[in-house]
């Protein structure tokens, strides 16, 4: 009786010399799939110094990576049906690895021209960072599948096994990158290392295919090796804006040419903090002066406070409070350990019993705060231009309210630009929790004609608004206090933000780049 097994056209017998050994097929599928996920995660960090970290940035990188995977897999499968996969697997793997290396200098050179949070810059840099190498690498697994298939009888098991292995490669790369590689290596090292390992594996697979199949199987054009070498050399000389790559940011400290002891902490695209190493009472940014004006009048001069700071940056305000209100106890919650390290090493931050720093997410820290102990809670946490959404909601504000004493004050820095949708929503959210809410801003902002940094206030007890207004004037700020009917008209019918619905990035208009 004849066999009913149908041999696929162009398929090689998996037990013969033409197919890859199962472990090699699994390895190349695992590697190429994993390299795409490394590229996706590192690509986000790569473009952040030029366009910031926003929901739009994340969306662009993830979207382009998924598009590249889809296009690559489709094209790779089609090509495998038309051409012997043995001729393409090694060159595609080497080309993909070489381009993983090359995207580093490409993005850095392009980023120097495309700096800004506008949609065009975000989309273009995200495309440069991921599309071509991810597509090339994603074309390899379907070719490996075709090469390993010997008959229709085993299609399900071969496709399922290699698809599962590819998914495991992506999962392993995601966890390895997020939990280990980012903490140990700079983005440049991650990309160059991943690219070169992929190139080396592609070359090894090429040698194996030539030995097993002969002819043109496994041949890698020398130009691809030159691309990998050239990309590595360019990566070494490509301009970088980072002094340090922290867990969340491209960070650097810049000296103020007009003030010998002045230092600016820059995170990605924003001037986050200004610190005078010799004078903690010197406050450069207007919004910090506005917050300081509030703290100056919410308690008697010189009286110590218990303060919780959500977001650390350069710890400018905690230092100010320690100087003007001796005995103040400040807890600074900063999610980025790299920023804390730069504070200590370059910005002269010394922790004492009265000024402590905790590396944690501010929302988690709020949930762990004892009730009714803080005279002051300061919100100054930012991810790119946006306050992290989990710190903007009714539920978050209820935690702030719980942490405050009966006459405690919440004061927060917010950035927005016309039509000021996020600012209005955040004020509506505060009003849903606190009986007394106020806004400190310039007249142009209150008229809806301009944007930038503003400061919001909230408390259970009436706020000393006349004193705040006078303190703003004493500091020479052209800011004023808005409350009552004026504030209600400004807020209008803005939605209240909740944990279930807080579209902060969509409400925010991120095209101006003020100090955060």
pLDDT band at 214 (very low <50, low <70, confident <90, very high): low
The answer, yes or no, to whether residue 144 has pLDDT greater than 80, is yes
Confidence check: pLDDT of 488 > 60: yes
Question: Span 451-463, mean pLDDT?
Answer: 96
pLDDT given at position 264: 95
CA pair distance 225, 240, nearest whole angstrom:
25
Non-local CB neighbours of 93 within 8 Å, separated by 6+ positions: 28, 31, 32, 137, 140, 198, 199, 201, 202, 205
Distance, in Å, from the CA atom of 298 to the CA atom of 305, rounded to the nearest integer, reads 10
What is residue 510's predicted lDDT score, i.e. its pLDDT? 52
Q: Quickly list DSSP for 153-194.
A: GGHHHHHHHHHHHHHHHHHHHHHHIIIIIHHHS-HHHHHHHH
Burial of 364 (0-12, 13-18, 19+ CB in 10 A): exposed
User: What pLDDT does 117 receive?
Assistant: 56
For 484-500, the DSSP string reads HHHHHHHHTTPPPPBTT
Check: CB of residue 251 under 8 Å from CB of residue 243. yes
Q: What is the mean pLDDT of residues 455-468?
A: 96
Res 5: pLDDT: 45
Assign 285 a pLDDT band (cuts: 50, 70, 90).
very high
pLDDT at 139: 96
CA-CA distance, 321 to 24, in Å (whole number)?
A: 62
Give the pLDDT confidence score for residue 512 in this predicted structure: 42
Average pLDDT on 377-382 reads 94
Q: Which residue has 């949609």 as its token pair?
A: 119
- Whether this model's pTM surpasses 0.85: no
Domains of the chain: 22-241 (1.20.1250.20), 283-507 (3.40.50.150)
Give CA–CA dist 2/11, Å, rounded: 20
Q: What is the pLDDT of residues 416-444, one digit of tens each?
A: 999 999 999 999 999 999 999 999 999 99
Q: How would you classify the pairing of strands 270-276 and 262-267?
A: antiparallel
Burial class for 181, CB neighbours closer than 10 Å (0-12, 13-18, 19+):
buried
Confidence of residue 227 (pLDDT cuts 50, 70, 90): confident
How does pLDDT run across 25-73, given as a tens digit for each residue? 999 999 999 999 999 999 888 888 787 777 788 899 999 999 999 999 9
Three-class SS of residue 473? helix
Nearest to 222 by CA among 203, 208, 236: 203
Residue 151: its pLDDT value, please? 64
Q: Which residues touch 293 (CB under 8 Å, ≥6 apart)?
A: 468, 471, 472, 474, 475, 477
**Residue 262, pLDDT score:** 96
Tell me what the mean pLDDT of segment 400-412 comes to. Answer: 97
What pLDDT, on a 0 to 100 scale, did the predictor assign at position 16?
41
Cis ω before 419 (30° cut-off from 0): yes
Predicted confidence band of residue 3 (pLDDT cuts 50, 70, 90): very low
Residues 127-142, mean pLDDT to the nearest whole number: 95
Note the pLDDT of residue 400.
Answer: 98
CA geometry: angle at 57 spanning 133 and 114, to 5°? 80
Checking if the pLDDT of 328 tops 90, the result is yes
pLDDT of residue 478: 95
């Amino acid at each position: 009786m004849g066999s009913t097994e149908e041999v696929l056209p162009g398929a090689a017998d998996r037990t013969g010399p033409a197919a890859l050994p199962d472990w090699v097929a699994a390895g190349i599928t695992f590697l190429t799939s994993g390299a795409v996920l490394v590229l996706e995660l590192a690509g986000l960090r790569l473009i952040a110094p030029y366009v910031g970290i926003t929901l739009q940035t994340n969306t662009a990188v993830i979207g382009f990576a998924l598009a590249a995977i889809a296009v690559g897999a489709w094209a790779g499968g089609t090509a495998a049906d038309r051409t012997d996969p043995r001729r393409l697997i090694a060159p595609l793997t080497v080309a993909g690895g070489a381009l993983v290396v090359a995207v580093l200098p490409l993005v850095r050179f392009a980023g120097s021209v495309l700096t800004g949070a506008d949609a065009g810059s975000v989309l273009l840099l995200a495309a440069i960072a991921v599309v071509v190498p991810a597509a090339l690498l994603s074309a390899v697994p379907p070719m490996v599948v075709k090469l390993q298939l010997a008959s229709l009888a085993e299609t399900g098991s071969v496709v399922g096994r290699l698809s599962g292995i590819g998914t495991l490669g992506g999962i392993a790369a995601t966890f390895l990158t997020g939990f280990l590689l980012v903490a140990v290596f700079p983005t440049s090292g991650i990309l160059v290392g991943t690219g070169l390992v992929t190139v080396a594996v592609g070359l090894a697979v090429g040698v194996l295919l030539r030995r097993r199949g002969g002819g043109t199987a496994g041949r890698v054009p020398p130009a691809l090796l030159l691309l990998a070498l050239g990309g590595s050399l360019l990566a070494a000389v490509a301009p970088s804006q980072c002094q340090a790559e922290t867990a969340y940011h491209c960070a650097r400290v810049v000296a103020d040419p007009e003030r010998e002891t002045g230092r600016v902490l820059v995170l990605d695209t924003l001037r986050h903090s200004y610190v005078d190493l010799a004078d903690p009472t010197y406050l450069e940014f207007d919004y910090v002066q506005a917050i300081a004006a509030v703290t100056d009048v919410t308690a008697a001069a010189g009286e110590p406070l218990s303060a919780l700071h959500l977001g650390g940056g350069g710890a400018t305000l905690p230092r100010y409070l320690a100087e003007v209100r001796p005995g103040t106890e400040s807890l600074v919650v900063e999610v980025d350990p790299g920023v804390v390290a730069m504070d200590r090493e370059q910005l002269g931050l010394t922790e004492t019993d009265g000024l402590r720093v905790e590396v944690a997410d501010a929302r988690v820290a709020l949930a762990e705060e004892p009730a009714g102990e803080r005279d002051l809670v300061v919100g100054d946490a930012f991810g790119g231009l946006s306050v992290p959404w989990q710190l903007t909601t009714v539920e978050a504000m209820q935690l702030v309210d719980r942490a405050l004493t009966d006459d405690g004050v919440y004061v927060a820095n917010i950035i927005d630009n016309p039509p000021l949708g996020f600012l209005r929503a955040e004020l509506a959210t505060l009003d849903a929790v606190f009986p007394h809410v106020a806004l400190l801003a310039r007249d142009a902002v209150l008229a809806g004609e301009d944007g930038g940094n503003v400061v919001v206030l909230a408390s259970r007890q009436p706020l000393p608004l006349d004193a705040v207004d006078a303190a703003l004037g004493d500091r020479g700020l052209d800011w004023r206090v808005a409350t009552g009917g004026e504030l209600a008209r400004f807020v209008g019918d803005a939605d209240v933000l909740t944990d279930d619905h807080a579209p902060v990035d969509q409400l925010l208009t991120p095209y101006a780049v003020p100090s955060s």
